[in-house]
Amino acid sequence: MTRTQPAIMKLPVTRRQPRGFTLAELMVAMAITTIIVAVLVSITSVAVDTWNRSRAELRAARQARLMVETMARDFEALVVRRGNGFEWLSASSPQTLPGERVTSGNAAELIFFSASTQRYDGEIGGTDDKGGDVSCIAYRLDYKDPIDQGGTAYKSFVLNRLLVNPDETFEKLLAQEDLDTAFASYRQDLEKPENFVCENIYQFTVTFHVEVNASAAGKTVTTPVSIPLGTGTSGTATSFSLTGNGIDTPFTGDAGVSADQIRSSRLKAVEVSATVLSDTAMDQIRKGAFNSNETEDFIARNSFHYSKRVGVTVP
């Protein structure tokens, strides 16, 4: 007996035709992608701005620290001798502040004597040491190219420092009644690139802190007086001179202290403050001009301020 197989019915297979995205799906996908990209760009922009700001602040801090610490070391070793008519420190505000499109807020020209350990290029006791320990030191702020003296493309507010070794100081600068005039032959050396200290110093102000002794009700009262160097306005002095006979300055900012009292006062400290611009700010200053209102706002947004007070010992 033969068994027959049941018939298998074959059903036709219907293949589903592939289809693309609809217009609505594409628009939703593009919108989501746009949002993600916008968020990423925004985050990246904030990160880059923060990095640039931190970098600018770090470089400005390095410039200011170098300037302030160098001047502090020089003032800490300030040399003054009493009982003579010689000038030991000469500080003045320039008649014309450095700058072109934007001028410096304040500046000072300093000449004084210091027992600096950097004399003879730091080789004290070496073969180049010609004796002596009192050097003449000068500081000046200018607007120029720090590398190429005749260059104009990369001008900046540059601080220069010159140290005259003790042998030359003894022969040409010590025992002078007018230190500024005696130093005139060294001004070209001060401007040389090798005497560059730092750049982007928009302004630096030197304030001399003195103590005035006055008699009141049979007692001696000591009054501290601050004498900032400036253009002569708003309680500043255009010059400050320390001689063996006392202090000479046109300062009249403190109504309770007379000129004679200031002349016989004692210098106790020197405060150095500096405003440093970022590199980006200096680039913009070189390229464009600003009016007075724009300059103040621009400097405030693109500068960093540093200061240090140094105690000095004056007999």
Q: Identify each DSSP E strand in the chain by its residue range.
A: 87-92, 109-114, 135-144, 156-164, 196-199, 201-216, 219-228, 239-243, 246-248, 266-277, 303-311
Query: HSE (CB half, 13 Å, CA atoms) of 118?
Result: 13
- pLDDT for 153 equals 82
Q: Give yes or no for a contact between 108 and 204, defined as CB atoms under 8 angstroms apart.
A: yes
For range 174-196, the mean pLDDT: 94
- pLDDT for 219 equals 80
- pLDDT for 19 equals 65
Percent pLDDT > 90 in the chain is 50
For range 63-76, the mean pLDDT: 90
Q: Give yes or no for a contact between 210 and 269, defined as CB atoms under 8 angstroms apart.
A: no
The answer, yes or no, to whether residue 233 has pLDDT greater than 70, is yes
Convert the pLDDT of each residue in 283-292 to its tens digit.
888 887 677 6
Residue 219: phi and psi, rounded to 5, are: -120, 155
Convert the pLDDT of each residue in 105-153 to its tens digit.
899 999 999 999 999 888 887 777 888 999 999 999 999 998 887 778 8
Q: Which residue has the tokens 């001028």?
A: 103
- pLDDT for 158 equals 94
Q: Among residues 283, 287, 213, 279, which one has the least CA distance to residue 246?
A: 213
Q: Among residues 255, 127, 141, 160, which one has the least CA distance to residue 204?
A: 141
Cα separation, 181 vs 160, whole angstroms: 19
Cα separation, 28 vs 30, whole angstroms: 5
- pLDDT for 24 equals 83
The answer, yes or no, to whether residue 1 has pLDDT greater than 60, is no
- pLDDT for 269 equals 97
pTM for the full predicted model: 0.81
For range 259-272, the mean pLDDT: 92
Q: Lowest-confidence range among 52-61, 150-159, 302-311?
A: 52-61
Q: Give yes or no for a contact between 183 and 136, defined as CB atoms under 8 angstroms apart.
A: yes
The answer, yes or no, to whether residue 92 has pLDDT greater than 60, is yes
- End-to-end CA separation in angstroms for the chain: 140
SS (H, E, C) 12-57: CCCCCCCCCCCHHHHHHHHHHHHHHHHHHHHHHHHHHHHHHHHHHH
